[in-house]
Amino acid sequence: MNWFNLSLVGWVIVIIAGAIAAYRFGADPVWVAIGALLLLGIGVITSVKSAKPRV
């Protein structure tokens, strides 16, 4: 497993946990989805930046 996959899996776990918590606290599902998509985008950008380049 390379750094990109490992980082992205971590972000997905955090997003799922945050979405479940927000839903349980009574947030509107539309806002939960918007927040999850926003965090997913940030996670992809961060994962790409932190991935080690292959030579």
pLDDT 10s digit of each residue in the chain, 55 long? 677 888 889 999 999 999 999 999 999 999 999 999 999 999 888 888 877 666 6
CB 33 within 8 A of CB 18: no
Q: What is the pLDDT of residue 2?
A: 79
* pTM for the structure as a whole: 0.80
- Side-chain-side CA neighbours of 41 within 13 Å: the count stands at 5
**Which pair of structure tokens corresponds to residue 21?**
């918590």
Could you please report the per-residue DSSP string of the chain?
A: --HHHHHHHHHHHHHHHHHHHHHHTT--HHHHHHHHHHHHHHHHHHHHHHSPPP-
